[in-house]
Structure 1
Amino acid sequence: MNPVWYAARTGLRRGWTELKQTFTSGQDVFGYVLWTVLLIVPLFLVGDDPLEGAGISAGAFMLPSMLGMTLAFTGMMTTAQLLATEREDGTLLRAKAVPHGMVGHLVGKVVMVSGTAVVSMALPFAVGVFMVDGVAQRGGGALLTLVWVVPLGLLATLPAGAVIGSLVTSPRTVGLLMLPVMGLVVVSGIYFPLTELPDWLQLVAQVFPVYWLGLGLRAALLPAEAVAAEIGESWRYLETAGVLGAWAVAGLLLAPPVLRRMARRESGAAMAERHRKAMQRVG
């Protein structure tokens, strides 16, 4: 068997094992529950308040939007956090020492993060669908939209997260990056329609995948009349596929050379230097 394919298959098994382990770890289970609560609280607060002109409640608008935000946030920031952490603790250096070990390691992370993203979406959806009316009532049409929006969303965000994780100097830097990401979430039409923002902020939001993932999931899960709340009163399927596809292509082109550069620079001396600096900060 081709050694690269063997490494990839090993990575698939490893990723699946790591994903299953998250359900046996108290800390990870608490993270799933906490994230679900954080998403459900806004739905509880807005209740059935009507969204003007859309024929749905504000809660119904917010639920699929927040699921899209979860997919983007998990795909991008979790990938970045894992790579930065495993570079600092030497996990990537050990993977590099094994033939094609980086291939297997990265495949495993893709499987694990993708599974984490899906679970992080499924739990609040399972709770939220009983709290708001008018969500997930489109049957097969919704399923067809989800089939391409969710995988394309992962392709658009996972490589971007890998690039961020390869470029930052420490996991703490990734934590600081969450602040501008949360600012982007606020202006991406997650908690209210994007049409309520100034035109220039609408343009900024439409550059990034967060808005398009929210739009794609609203198109899948909301009734047809809810389109009145969207820009141009259209679900803009082609634009959604185009922007997410552009992010996916850019990430897949940029991530491999950046990851190779990171792997080449990994060494025992580099890891020891990072530990020395970390101890100086603690001291």
Structure 2
Amino acid sequence: MNPTLNAIRAGITRGKIESRQMLTNSEDLGSTLVFTTIFIVVMVLMRGSTVPGTDFSLGTMTVPSVLGMSLVFSGVVGIAAGLSVDREDGTLLRAKAIPNGMRGYLVGRVVSSSAYAVGGLVLTLVPCLFLFDGLATGGLTSWLTLAWVLAVGLLATMPLGAIIGALMPSPRSMGLVMLPFSILTAVSGIFYPITALPEWVQGFSQIFPIYWLGLGMRSALLPDSMAAVEIGESWRHLETLGVLGIWAVIGYALAPVVLRRMARRESGSAVAARREKALQQVR
């Protein structure tokens, strides 16, 4: 059997098992439900406000933006955190010891993270369809746009998450990831139209995937008339595809290099040293 195909099959199986564990683990489900509930409550409280210059509900406009933000969170933070934890507890070292084990591990991580991202999107979107008026989900075009934005978004964010996870010294360094993520969320038009921000902030936000995923989700789930409050009064599908595509190309070019360097440094002594350091911090 082809070793690469064997590793991919093993990775897919691993990803299915990890996905099943997430769906049956009360702690994972509980934390996901808590964050989803918080976001939905915030958006419900925003229903009484309107988008400036329109009579459209700000809460409804925020729904697809939050879906885009959640997709970035799953692709970047989810992969980075999982990779960092697996490196510290020796999972990566065990994978490294198996022929093509790292390839299988990464395939499994991609499968489970994709399942988590899609599950989180469905968990948020379904109740919002009943709670918010004005979501344009009645046509095939909306669902096709949602599908390609979701696919391209995962391709753009997961390699970035793998790079960050490989560079993080430990899972306790997640704050270094969450801080810039929070800042980008605040300036990327997730909870308020980005056109209300200074132009230099708009330009800065357009460098990163979170703005484009929010825009892509809005283009899928909002009426075409709401493009009037976006930059250039357009959904800019080609630009969305182009920027996210550039991030995907950069990520897939750099991620294998960074991951190979990380794998070469993995050893039993390195895992033991990280565990000892973690125990000292707990004490």
What TM-score do the two structures reach when normalised by structure 2? 0.97
Between the aligned partners of 1:123 and 1:204, the Cα distance in structure 2 is 31
Between the aligned partners of 1:46 and 1:106, the Cα distance in structure 2 is 40
Between the aligned partners of 2:252 and 2:157, the Cα distance in structure 1 is 10
Q: Single out whichever of 11-20 and 242-251 deviates more from structure 2.
A: 11-20
Question: Which deviations, in whole Å up to 9, do the C-alpha atoms of 1:126-161 show, x marking residues without a partner?
Answer: 111211111133411112212211110001100000
One-letter amino acid of the counterpart of residue 98, structure 1: I
Between the aligned partners of 1:173 and 1:202, the Cα distance in structure 2 is 29
Counterpart residue number, 2:254: 254
Between the aligned partners of 1:37 and 1:241, the Cα distance in structure 2 is 30
Counterpart residue number, 1:56: 56
Tell me how far 1:276 sits from its aligned partner: 2.1
Counterpart residue number, 1:204: 204
One-letter amino acid of the counterpart of residue 41, structure 2: V
Question: Which deviations, in whole Å up to 9, do the C-alpha atoms of 1:50-87 show, x marking residues without a partner?
Answer: 21334521011100000000001110001000000100
Between the aligned partners of 2:122 and 2:204, the Cα distance in structure 1 is 29
2:69 counterpart of 1:86: no
Counterpart residue number, 1:171: 171
Between the aligned partners of 1:135 and 1:163, the Cα distance in structure 2 is 35
One-letter amino acid of the counterpart of residue 40, structure 2: I
Counterparts of 1:152-231 in structure 2, within 5 Å, are: 152-231=152-231
One-letter amino acid of the counterpart of residue 232, structure 2: G
Counterpart residue number, 2:24: 24
Contact 1:54/1:227 (<8 A) preserved: no
Question: Which deviations, in whole Å up to 9, do the C-alpha atoms of 1:72-123 show, x marking residues without a partner?
Answer: 1110001000000100000000111111111111100000001101111111
Between the aligned partners of 1:19 and 1:31, the Cα distance in structure 2 is 15
Question: Which deviations, in whole Å up to 9, do the C-alpha atoms of 1:160-214 show, x marking residues without a partner?
Answer: 0000000110011123320221111010100001000001110111000000000
One-letter amino acid of the counterpart of residue 162, structure 2: A
2:150 counterpart of 1:135: no
Between the aligned partners of 1:212 and 1:127, the Cα distance in structure 2 is 24
2:116 counterpart of 1:110: no
Contact 1:49/1:58 (<8 A) preserved: yes
State the percentage of identical aligned residues: 52
Tell me how far 1:25 sits from its aligned partner: 0.8
Tell me how far 1:273 sits from its aligned partner: 1.3
Between the aligned partners of 1:7 and 1:209, the Cα distance in structure 2 is 30
Query: Which runs of no fewer than 5 residues in structure 2 stay unpaired?
Result: none
- Aligned CA RMSD, in angstroms, stands at 1.1
For residues 137 and 146 of structure 1, do their structure 2 counterparts lie closer, same or farther at Cα, with a shift above 3 Å needed?
Answer: closer
What TM-score do the two structures reach when normalised by structure 1? 0.97
Query: Which runs of no fewer than 5 residues in structure 1 stay unpaired?
Result: none
Between the aligned partners of 2:184 and 2:29, the Cα distance in structure 1 is 27
Between the aligned partners of 1:279 and 1:52, the Cα distance in structure 2 is 52
Between the aligned partners of 2:15 and 2:280, the Cα distance in structure 1 is 34
Contact 2:152/2:245 (<8 A) preserved: yes
Contact 1:159/1:251 (<8 A) preserved: yes
One-letter amino acid of the counterpart of residue 141, structure 1: T
Counterpart residue number, 2:232: 232
Counterpart residue number, 1:74: 74
For residues 177 and 137 of structure 1, do their structure 2 counterparts lie closer, same or farther at Cα, with a shift above 3 Å needed?
Answer: closer
Between the aligned partners of 1:139 and 1:52, the Cα distance in structure 2 is 27
Between the aligned partners of 1:188 and 1:123, the Cα distance in structure 2 is 23
3-state DSSP of counterpart to 1:50: coil
Between the aligned partners of 1:189 and 1:18, the Cα distance in structure 2 is 33
